[in-house]
Each structure stands twice: as C-alpha cells, then as structure tokens.
Structure 1
Amino acid sequence: MTDTTAAPVTAPVPPAATARVLAEAARAVDAPDLVLAVSRNGVRTVHTGGSAEPGPVLRELMAYELGSASKPYAGLLLARLVAQGRVRYEDRAADLLAPGFPVHPAVRRITLRHLLTHTSGLPGLPADFYPQAVPRWSTDPYGGYPADRVVRAFLRARPRHRPGTRWHYSNFAVSVLGHTLAAATGTPWEVLLHQQVLAPLGLEATRVRPGPDGTDAVGHRRDGTPVPALDTGGFTAAGAVRATPLDLLTFLEAHTGGAAGSPTDSSLAAALTEVTRPVLRRGLRHAHTHTLTWFQHPTPYGPVLFHAGATLGQQAFLGFRPGTGLAVAATATRRVHRADTFVATAYGLLTETP
C-alpha cells in the first residue's frame, strides 16, 4: 500500500509564533504538569505549565510514563531486527516463543506482524487478567501479572477470529511480541530495546523502569492525590517506556530527519522508513489507516502519524508529519475527567498548524 498524498510547501514558521501557539493551546488543558513541545526541522520550541507548583527539576527534564505511546518503540525495534535479518515479520510467534509446544491452530498462525498491527485475533488483555486486577484497578492493575503468565496465556489462547482478518487493539498482543523477540534473540526486552533503539538514537533519558528519586513525573488523580509509579508486570513492551519530552522530540526527529538527518546505520534507517509506510486500512470505507505501529490521518498539510498513551495518572502524545520536519510531543500529569482535552489539544498542534 502506498500513500500519494503530498504535503504542500509552507513558509518557515518563526519560533516566536510557535511559542504563542503553544501557550494558547496550553490554556485548554487542565493538568498539574504539562509540557507541549514542537520541533520544526530540528528547531525546538517547548512550553511548560500546569496548575501545580514547579518542582526542583524542570518539567521538560522529567521522565513521563508513556503508556500505550510506548508501542512505536516496540515497532521500531521489530523493524530494525527484521532489517538486520534476525527475524521476519511472517515468523510465527509460537514457534519462536515455545517451539513444539501444542497450541490452538489459530495461535500457531499468529505472526510477529499480526501481534504488532493488532490483527492477531487476541483480546485486549488476557481473560484471567481481570480477576487479579480489578481489586487494585486504581493503584496497580498490571504488577501482579508477570511475564511468564503473559506467555502462558498466549500459548493457551483461543483467538476471537482468524489472524490477519480483523483489527482489534491489544496490549496483550504487543506484550507477547516483546517476549517473543526476547526469546528469539536470547536478550531481555529491556536490554534489546536499549541496544537496538534507545542507545543508537541517543535517547539517554528514556527507560522502562522508574529512575532516581526526583527524576520522574508524579501522576495525579482527579482529587490531586499522587498515583504510584506504573508497574507494567509482564506487559512491558506494550506500555512501560518512560521518557522526557526532550527525548520524545529526539525520537520523533529521527522519523522526520530532524536536526541530525538520517541515521548512518543502514538497518536503523531502513527501520525508520519501514514504520512510516501504511500497511492496513480498517473501518467504514477503510477510512482508518495504520503503519506497523502508528495511526495515520490525512490533513490539509499532508498525512500525520501519531500515537497517544495514558497510565493511571499521566498522559503522552507523539506525532509527526512525514516529509515536513514537524514533530509534536506532549506530556501531562492528569486529573481524569470526562472533559479531558489533552489528546485533542496535542493532536490539533500536529494537524492544524502550518
């Protein structure tokens, strides 16, 4: 599948104008801590704010929980391993994860591509996840469900439909992908992600575990009480990444060319190109387009690629416009309520600004 939408040429936007746009956008978001950051061909503009008193560490230097916005990191990792010839998109997960183990025929057909693109037929979370999670839903729903349990749930799963036929968003599937890549390479997921993605892109303030005291943003409930740091249990690949807004811009700039241009490593450059290509369409009249790991929407300024995520007390948004040099990263500690405007505001910065 190809996308022939061309991005119109626009005049350079002065940083001062971008700063005014960010300040205006920030007024629409009710959050204790908020960071809105834009990169235009590597020229960065960052706005920080929020209703809470600033702490000793600048908001843009704190690491925020990305939740589901961690998935583009998993996608780039898979694409790079494929570019290196270490795995293939069509490799069957069960064969890599537990060779010879008896599984349901539909599970046997699930490939690495199916897991990443949410077309595996697996549910959003394993069925037996909820009994242990519900009693601690507002404090630690994932920590009691470790990696070996995720793997066992996959091997005994009964997919809802034939792999590759329907799209259904699944944290379960992307988590299985992480465990499968770790098994296929003989390398723990955290180490693999660091070696293949974080270190090559210079993402020194990005990690999958809490950092030293005072370096991580603290989430908030609606009443303002703090939320414990997220423990993803066995669902690391689907939602464990933590990063500073500045590192998020670096990650996005790698996809757009940014200030540093294309990576010199051929497998990384190939992976960055691969994850921007549309691979499936879904919904009414196939209106929804996806790459391996990004949602894609059309805009008057060309297609945008993006992903959002949320944890119990934090939110993140990542997006960019291929071929234009524009990238938007947004993070917030949040008060959860129905009128939340964080994602819409960040999305508007990506889609509505020239």
Structure 2
Amino acid sequence: MLADAARTVDAPDVVIAVSRYGERTVHRGGVAPAGPVPRELLRYELGSASKPFAGLLLARLVAQDRVRYEDRAADLLAPGHPVHPAVRAITLRHLMTHTSGLPALPADFYPQAVPRWSTDPYRGYPADRVVRAFLRARPRHRPGTRWHYSNFGVSVLGHTLAAATGTPWEILLHQQVLGPLGLAATLLRPGPADTDATGHRRDGSPVPALDPGGFTAAGAVRSTPLDLLTFLEAHLARPPGPAPAAPAAPAAPAAPADQTLAAALAEVVRPVLRRGWRHGHTHTLTWFRHPSAYGPVLFHAGATLGQQVFLGFRPESGLAIAATATRRVRRGVPFVATAYGLLTETL
C-alpha cells in the first residue's frame, strides 16, 4: 500500500513513515536515484506543518503558568505601545487558532517578496518588521469571530512568546518541545552538509534552502521522517492490554514524565472551534480534525518552494503517518490527498 502511494507522487524523493502504537514501517521512494544518505534520515522543510510545534509550545507554557491563552499579545510584545483597539483585543489563543482577524501575511510583505517569489520571498522580512506590522495592523474582522489561516498571526505568536519568556524562539522551542520529546534531528535552520533534503521545482531544478525571515514560528522547522513519527507518537495514547510487538524501527520514547508536557499534549488534541460548511470542520489548538470511519483524524500539511510534508494521526487507533516529498506541485500530484487517504482509510 505504501509503495503504491509513493508511486503516485511525482517527486525526486518520497518517504512515507507509518507507526501504529510505536511499531513502525518506513517506505522510501522517488523518481530520482537514492543518495548516499537514506531518505528517512534527511531533514525536510515542514513549512506550515511547523505550526503544531508552535501550538504545543504555547500549550506547555500555559501549563507551566508562564502565559495564559487569554493574554493579549500586544501587552506582552510591546507594553504601552499604542495600537488599534482590535489589535489590543488579540489574544494568544486567537493567534494560534487563526481567529485573530489578521491576514495571511502583512500587506507590505508582497512588494519586497514578489521580485524573488520563486527563490527567497521571506528573507527580506525580518522579525522586527513582523512585529511592527502587527502593532500597526487593522484586523479585517473582530478577533474571535472568524477563522482565516494566517502565517502572520502564528509568527506574531512566536515573537510574543519569546518576549514574554525573555528567551529566543529557537532556544524556547528546543527547551520546551524538541529536547523533552527527544527530537535530536529536528532543527530550525539548515543542518550540516548532506543532512538536509533538497527541494525541487516542477521542472526538476533544485530550490535553495528556505530562509523564513521573521516568520520562524509559522514555518521554519525541518525534521527527519523518523523524528516526525516520534513527535506524532507523543500525541497518541497507548492502548490497554499487553505491550505491542517490538518495532521495526526505533520506537518513540516513553510517555513524557513532565506533567506540564503531558498536559500540553492532551490539550492540543482537544477540539476548540468549528468552521466551514455547516461548521463541519473541527479544529484543535494546532490540528485540523476530521471524522473518519475509524475515528477522528488530526492532521496538518505544509509546503515550501520545493518540498511538501503531511503529518497526521488517529488517536483512537494509535496510527500516525509522516510523509515527505521533495517537489511541490499544486495540481496533478496528489501528495496531500494520498497521505490523507492512508490516514483515513488504513485499517
């Protein structure tokens, strides 16, 4: 089944990694010859699939009583700075759940990005510019009233948490999420030579490594499929009864001993809002949540200029899937649909 799924994805490198209660199966494929480093050991750019990491970090800081979901971002980020009343009302929860009223990206992002849209659109928009754009923003909708996907909002969340804790985002994420979960191969910047996957354009030419500029919290994580499985497995409750058979690949670490991390993992799978046609789509703090024949599925996809990632899990059946590909094609290559189908249809 995994081999068939991989063959539908027209990408130089494809990895589909599956775990059921810690027992792992990893399929490697792609239209290009395999390189010297096994595909499942390379780091892939997660793009928007970085957001579940940001949400888990927020949930853990809340569990530690360092911030609250209802804290106002502007008060933490720039106390006393004059802002629009709607901006003053934006909370940390609004930023993480895409209900802040902010657009997908700041209005002044596009003029500097368009000339290098296919190569490096984010590098010219650093962190201080993201913060300034937020403080002068005029939200399109009253915070908390509408859902609108926003890289801008999650990026502001990252800068706000860094300001509130006095800790740079990268260090904060390592201290609170990556380190405790044992994600040693997960980084927020390119790794040593030959450790990162290379993205490709539709014509097969390579794409430079992503520089997220000031949008780090929304899309800077890069990780291996095996680390991604470990991250997903942490969200899954173990079944009652005997322990599962020994895994085919390294299994996830034991359930987190730190109660604040355990509380955060429980919090991020809890439904918090509905949207879409007849409010049929449910969302948690960090995940899209859909029904399936085998219970709810939680997932998030991500893409950069030359790579795609899908992360998903089914809590009721202990199933987790991490899929990566080194080509991004908007149409004709059903990468997300293929991975989503595996998640929803696999027994």
Which range, TM-score by smaller chain? over 0.9
Instruction: Say which of 225, 228, 231 aligns to 1:251.
Output: 231
Instruction: Say which of 276, 286, 289 aligns to 1:283.
Output: 276
Separation of aligned partners in 2, 1:279 and 1:340: 32
- The TM-score normalised by the length of structure 1 is 0.93
Q: Residue 18 of structure 2 contacts residue 25 of structure 2 at CA under 8 Å; is this kept in 1?
A: yes
1:330 aligns with 2:323: yes
Separation of aligned partners in 2, 1:346 and 1:193: 27
Q: Residue 124 of structure 1 contacts residue 169 of structure 1 at CA under 8 Å; is this kept in 2?
A: yes
Q: Which residue of 2 aligns with 1:310?
A: 303
Offset at 1:348?
A: 0.6
Q: Which residue of 2 aligns with 1:166?
A: 146
Q: Which residue of 2 aligns with 1:48?
A: 28
Separation of aligned partners in 1, 2:277 and 2:224: 37
Instruction: Say which of 214, 227, 231 aligns to 2:211.
Output: 231
| 1:97-108 to 2 correspondences below 5 Å | 97-108=77-88
Q: Deviations over 1:280-323 (max 9, x none)?
A: 00122111100001000000000000000000000000000013
1:149 aligns with 2:129: yes
Separation of aligned partners in 2, 1:347 and 1:261: 27
Separation of aligned partners in 1, 2:148 and 2:44: 27
Q: Residue 69 of structure 1 contacts residue 239 of structure 1 at CA under 8 Å; is this kept in 2?
A: yes
Offset at 1:27?
A: 1.6
Q: CA RMSD in A?
A: 0.8
- State the AA in 2 paired with 1:147: A
Separation of aligned partners in 1, 2:258 and 2:318: 20
Separation of aligned partners in 2, 1:60 and 1:328: 13
Offset at 1:254?
A: 0.3
Separation of aligned partners in 1, 2:150 and 2:253: 34
Separation of aligned partners in 1, 2:265 and 2:19: 18
Q: Which residue of 1 aligns with 2:247?
A: none
Q: Which residue of 1 aligns with 2:261?
A: 268
Separation of aligned partners in 1, 2:328 and 2:261: 38
Counterpart of 2:234 in 1: which secondary structure?
A: helix
Q: Residue 223 of structure 1 contacts residue 335 of structure 1 at CA under 8 Å; is this kept in 2?
A: no
Q: Deviations over 1:2-59 (max 9, x none)?
A: xxxxxxxxxxxxxxxxxxx211211211110000010011000000010111111100
Separation of aligned partners in 2, 1:307 and 1:337: 16
Separation of aligned partners in 2, 1:109 and 1:196: 27
Separation of aligned partners in 2, 1:153 and 1:337: 29
1:294 aligns with 2:275: no
1:341 aligns with 2:334: yes
Instruction: Say which of 65, 68, 93 aligns to 2:73.
Output: 93
Q: Deviations over 1:121-173 (max 9, x none)?
A: 00000000000000000000000000000000000000001000000000000
Separation of aligned partners in 1, 2:9 and 2:198: 17
Offset at 1:337?
A: 4.8
Instruction: Say which of 117, 125, 140 aligns to 1:137.
Output: 117
Q: Which residue of 1 aligns with 2:221?
A: 241
- State the AA in 2 paired with 1:156: R
Separation of aligned partners in 1, 2:144 and 2:46: 27
Deviates more, 1:258-267 or 1:145-154: 258-267
Deviates more, 1:317-326 or 1:34-43: 317-326
Instruction: Identify unmatched segments of 5+ residues in structure 2.
Output: 239-251
Counterpart of 1:320 in 2: which secondary structure?
A: strand
Offset at 1:239?
A: 0.2
Counterpart of 1:206 in 2: which secondary structure?
A: coil
Separation of aligned partners in 2, 1:280 and 1:224: 40
Q: Residue 225 of structure 2 contacts residue 323 of structure 2 at CA under 8 Å; is this kept in 1?
A: yes
- State the AA in 2 paired with 1:59: R
Separation of aligned partners in 1, 2:92 and 2:206: 37
Separation of aligned partners in 1, 2:158 and 2:330: 32
* Aligned positions, number: 334
Separation of aligned partners in 2, 1:337 and 1:169: 18
Separation of aligned partners in 1, 2:325 and 2:223: 12
Task: Summarize the Cα distance change of 1:97–1:335 in structure 2 as closer, same or farther, 3 Å threshold.
Answer: closer
Separation of aligned partners in 2, 1:244 and 1:284: 35
Offset at 1:263?
A: 1.1
Separation of aligned partners in 1, 2:148 and 2:135: 19
